[in-house]
Structure 1
Amino acid sequence: MKQLVATFCALLFTMMVFGQNNDPILGKWENPSGEGRIEIYKKNNKFYGKLYWIKNAGRKDAKNPDPNLRTRDIQGLEILTGFTKKGKTYEDGEIYDPKSGKTYSCKMTLKGDNQLDIRGYMGISLLGRTETWKRITK
């Protein structure tokens, strides 16, 4: 009986650990134009994403409103910050657009296993734009 209880506790613990680390949004995604690839990760119970690959490597963050940041590389830049999970939606975050140098409020919604809708907006979600990223499965 003790062995059965110990086995059950170990199985329950394993399921809890696996469930916490296996969030469906985690991983690598490609934007619709194919110019950028973003890796989404979790830190301190929030979700973030950085550009780990861009088509034209070596590009600088020239449009950044902060002149001190205009010489940094776009590749490696954290462009998704501070998202909180609410079901299949990730909200209360921001997305930085290095092409314009602007930061927008953002929410992300999973569409199946391999599609992620990214909605950037100003003020309210109605005033924004959505693009669909595809999961990189290679």
Structure 2
Amino acid sequence: MKVTRRMLPFIALFVGLTAFVSSDGSDAVVGTWLNGTKKGHVQIYKQGGTYFGKLVWLGQPNDADTGKPRTDTKNVDPSKRSRPLLNMPLMYNFRYDGGNVWSDGKIYNPEDGKEYNCKMILENPNTLLVRGYVGISLFGKTQTWTRVK
């Protein structure tokens, strides 16, 4: 009886810590990633049932000419060209398909100001393949992202 009473807090703690862990691996993509160009870190997070990403670090956060924070100068929408790149949402509406694949998302490329269809494949816990494409996945480009520790 005394052993059971002593173990009860540990059992409750274990249940509490594991109750919110995803058992299907859907949250394995959550974290901060160094993008394929090595110019920025993207934080991928879950909101509701979908996954999003925002730019949280830039290798060159300030414009070389003005010294001011870099902005979204290449955006096709002129009203968005003055928004700062840092903390800007770049990825949205990804859903987990199973088998380490997240699809049906969109990715914005601030280097050309365009948005692309996108899917992500978690190759291993520290390597993420991010494929942006137009139309079908066949017409696109894949970048290898690495997890930031």
- The verdict on a shared fold, with TM-score over 0.5 as the criterion, is yes
CA drift of 1:32 comes to 2.5
CA drift of 1:16 comes to 3.4
Question: TM-score scaled by structure 1?
Answer: 0.87
- The CA deviation string for residues 23-45 of structure 1, in whole angstroms up to 9 with x for no partner, is 21111100133211000000011
Query: 120, 131, 137: which one pairs with 1:125?
Result: 137
One-letter identity of the residue aligned with 2:22: G
* Percent identical: 37
- Report the Cα distance in structure 1 between the residues aligned to 2:29 and 2:54, rounded to whole angstroms: 13
Greater C-alpha radius of gyration: 2
| Number of aligned positions between the proteins | 134
- Report the Cα distance in structure 1 between the residues aligned to 2:26 and 2:95, rounded to whole angstroms: 15
One-letter identity of the residue aligned with 1:59: R
Question: TM-score scaled by structure 2?
Answer: 0.81
- The CA deviation string for residues 78-100 of structure 1, in whole angstroms up to 9 with x for no partner, is 00100000111000000000010
CA drift of 1:22 comes to 7.8
One-letter identity of the residue aligned with 1:115: T
Higher mean C-alpha deviation, range 53-62 or range 21-30: 21-30
Higher mean C-alpha deviation, range 60-69 or range 100-109: 60-69
- Report the Cα distance in structure 1 between the residues aligned to 2:140 and 2:73, rounded to whole angstroms: 23
**Tell me, what secondary structure is at the counterpart of 1:68?**
helix
Unpaired runs of 5+ residues, structure 2, are 62-68
Unpaired runs of 5+ residues, structure 1, are none
